[in-house]
Amino acid sequence: MQKRLLSIGHGFSARALAGRLVPLGWEIIGTTRSADNIAGIAQTGVAPVLWPGTDLTPLIEEMPHVLLSAAPGAGGDPVLDAYRDVFVRRASALRWVGYLSTTGVYGDHGGGWVDEDTALTPATKRGQARVEAEAAWREIEGLPLHIFRLAGIYGPGRGPFAKVRKGTARRIIKQGQVFSRIHVEDIALALDLSLAAPDPGAIYNLCDNDPAPPQDVIAHAAELLGLPLPPAVDFETAEMTPMARSFYAESKRVRNDRIKDALGWQPRYADYRTGLADLLKKDP
């Protein structure tokens, strides 16, 4: 297998994957929208490219593996808008294309369970944009597309500890609300396994084994830190940004059986307790 990957939109999850692949001899080229990120990306052993601003056509035509992390905008998927014809032309020569989507495509299920065969009924504009982007990528005949629907991502530098330490954390209480989560290192493991065993057309949910109310996670973080329990605030009266409030429009439990059966994936951080304990151990 040619160990070469183009990572378009080289963000949090893609960086975790690179952390696994670079030590194994992979050549990775990662795009960023900001020149301020170039030095940091280069330090991880990934070759940085500024995009938009650089024509990616030669890289798409050359690289056998492509990871797509760029989120769709108001005008649709930015990579497809710019390079649909290149991917159509290159489809049969590519070995693996991974698209990072979201479990937001399923919408609200009142705390019920969903899997990859559940109808896509997004409750937010972001979720609808992802449904449309998934469909647009799937329309390219012969493309070895793998869709990964990610639950709420956390990991180093992205967790509840900072707010709890600052005393700004709150336990937002909405009756029946439950979320699924995924540690970024478990995303990287899943992508690594998929790269090693491509299955074009596959769709996988990526989440841990323990969907839980968000207030429980905040409370456990405070307990781990030995700090007072953050105050409980009713969702209806809580001061929240529109973005934060929109996450509460959906309540569901996400199943991850398919990727376990297909690739032998098992989350190293099977629940938020395991994941938070590890984060605290690495950044006490």
Q: What is the pLDDT of residue 284?
A: 74
Amino acid identity, residue 82? A
Q: What is the pLDDT of residue 74?
A: 83
260 within some domain: yes
15 within some domain: yes
**CA-CA distance, 34 to 16, in Å (whole number)?**
19
151 within some domain: yes
Query: Hey, what are 151's tokens?
Result: 């639950």
| Per-residue confidence band for 283, with pLDDT thresholds at 50, 70 and 90 | confident
Contact assessment for residue 208 and residue 267, using Cβ atoms and an 8 Å cutoff: yes
Q: How many domains does the chain have?
A: 1
176 within some domain: no
**CATH code where residue 135 lies:** 3.40.50.720
Strands 47-50 and 27-32: parallel
| Per-residue confidence band for 105, with pLDDT thresholds at 50, 70 and 90 | very high
pTM of the model: 0.97
| Per-residue confidence band for 244, with pLDDT thresholds at 50, 70 and 90 | confident
The 10s digit of each residue's pLDDT in 125-136 is 999 999 999 999
Mean pLDDT of the residues in the chain? 96
| Per-residue confidence band for 108, with pLDDT thresholds at 50, 70 and 90 | very high
218 within some domain: no
246 within some domain: no
Question: Which residue segment(s) compose the domain that 69 sits in?
Answer: 4-155+181-209+253-269
| Per-residue confidence band for 237, with pLDDT thresholds at 50, 70 and 90 | very high
278 within some domain: no
Q: What is the pLDDT of residue 282?
A: 87
247 within some domain: no
Q: What is the pLDDT of residue 163?
A: 93
Those residues whose C-beta lies under 8 Å from the C-beta of residue 133, and which sit 6 or more positions away, are: 72, 76, 77, 80, 99, 101
**CA-CA distance, 9 to 264, in Å (whole number)?**
27
Q: What is the pLDDT of residue 189?
A: 98
